[in-house]
Amino acid sequence: MRTLLNNNSLRRLKFMELLYNTKDWLTLKQIATDIDCSERVLRVDISHINETYMPFSIVTSQKKGVKLEYPTNYSLEFVFQQILTDSIEFTVLEKILLDESFDIIDLANTLYTSPSTLNRIINKNNKLLLERDIKIHTQPCYIGGNELNIRNLLSQFLLEKYGAYNSPFTTHQIQTVDYLYEMMCETVNETPAMQDRLRLRYWFMASIIRINNGHHLTLESNEVPQEVKQLYQNEQLQIAFTFLLDCEFTPTILMELLVIFADINYFSNTSALKTHLKQTTTDNLLARNIYTFLTNLSENTHIPLTNIDEVALQLYNKHYLLVGPNYIIYNRKALFAKRIREVYPFFVASVQQELSKLSSAQDFYYKDYAVNEILYTLLIHWENFITLLEKALPPLTVGLYSDFDNAHSRFVEGILHYYFGKHLQFVHIQDISDIPDISLLITTISSLNFLEMPVICIDPLPSPKNLLEIQQALQSFNDRPNYLASKYFL
């Protein structure tokens, strides 16, 4: 939903991202070319950012250019939170989502803008929201359309803007919905997790806001599951909902709050999924496809998947939990997936190859946000993935030839082993005329042009440039294309 941002906000976001992802100084001319604006505009942005985005600041130097500085206990997440806070478009959306008592005049006065400007912003928002089957109505102002998509949008927005420790809700309200999550986990024998707690905290609050404003989900079944009946009998929840959340506490309301988990296709444990898998019905096609996908992926990458049932369960439930794009402007899973593509390109290529075999049956796998979620789920739930990855292929044999003493060669071997792990097996060359069968020669001697093999000349202490050259050379071998995982990346 970045396109919801106005040109100024979107440019500043690109500006900050570019500086955040760059280690070196950049000139304003370079940046202006990259984000298609003038240097004068960037100078204005620098002043605005330094005033509004503290403790982030853009340092300027006449000789070097500009560089982003910020404390070590901050990350890019803070920038996105400030962008959402700074954006009039998202402020309009938030105001209407949280409070439906406004008309255009009142809302314009609250935002210190004119009714005509506010109408233009709402019309712009509606063009983008149309693809989610959502629309902002006026006189009075409210948001209608696909109720599940609206709650997903509201919960994702609140999560991105406020995060874990800047919630717009009271401590007692947060404690109530957190308690609901804990009781739900206890009922279905799940272990509470920080990220799930945070995500569901905002999902529950978004749902309660919508319910209190008179908007309800259409439930597929009026039958109340046993787990919901158990939660309904919890007197502490009944009191908290009534007095702290000002929300009616009924089995139907609980069904709305837990709609995703009440889905007949959602399974809380591996035993339930395996029982479902044994059924000879078309309903379990997804489960069978996931097991086939995981089995083939493990075989093709030579990485044992010892906890296949747990990974299959996570992927299966993700299919139903993802009711749409799982971000507003800060796509953390895309950043994670981007890094994985850089570090483990061969593994990602194998994942995409196996997913393509399922695409004809599951359109879900065509969506970028779904692929990113799958990559994230695979890597964090695949037991001992990093350790097993290093063992997946035999090491390449690399020769070390130095004009220093043997102790220095062993020192260099230790450095390369640190950066490239078990991917390399070293042979110390004593005589250049008698080189054994190796894939690459690393040497401290310059101008060895007569050898019929790749040669990399390094400094006495391998430099970052040397390490990158070694990495690129190793990734070029045809028998293991882009498989190498290294600790060294620019």
**In this structure, are residues 432 and 425 in contact, taking their beta carbons and an 8 Å threshold?**
no
For residue 482, the model assigns a pLDDT of 44
Q: Note the pLDDT tens digit of each residue in 82-139.
A: 999 999 999 999 999 999 999 999 999 999 999 999 999 999 999 999 988 999 998 8
Q: Note the pLDDT tens digit of each residue in 280-330.
A: 666 577 888 889 999 999 998 888 999 999 999 888 888 777 766 778 999
More confident residue, 108 or 387: 108
User: If you count them, how many residues does the chain have?
Assistant: 490
More confident residue, 330 or 357: 330
Reading the block at residue 33, the tokens are: 């070319």
Question: What are the φ/ψ torsions at residue 445 (nearest 5 degrees)?
Answer: -100, 125
More confident residue, 391 or 314: 314
185 band by pLDDT with thresholds 50, 70 and 90: confident
pLDDT at 16 over 90: yes
| DSSP 8-state assignment for residue 137 | E
More confident residue, 403 or 84: 84
State the DSSP string of 185-224.
HHHTT----HHHHHHHHHHHHHHHHHHHTT-----S--PP
Cα–Cα distance between 26 and 13 in angstroms, integer?
A: 16
Residue for token pair 């086939």: 292
For residue 274, the model assigns a pLDDT of 80
Cα–Cα distance between 409 and 428 in angstroms, integer?
A: 7
Cα–Cα distance between 328 and 157 in angstroms, integer?
A: 6
Question: What are the φ/ψ torsions at residue 178 (nearest 5 degrees)?
Answer: -65, -40
350-353 long-range contacts, CB within 8 A, separation 24+: 350/297, 350/300, 350/301, 351/297, 351/375, 351/378, 353/300
pLDDT at 485 over 70: no
What is the distance, to the nearest Å, from the Cα of residue 11 to the centroid of all Cα atoms in its chain? Answer: 22
Choose the weakest-confidence range: 76-90, 268-282, 308-322, 392-406: 268-282
Cα–Cα distance between 122 and 454 in angstroms, integer?
A: 61
Cα–Cα distance between 132 and 149 in angstroms, integer?
A: 7
Mean pLDDT of 395-410: 88
Q: Is 158 helix (H, G, I), strand (E, B) or coil?
A: helix
**In this structure, are residues 351 and 311 in contact, taking their beta carbons and an 8 Å threshold?**
no
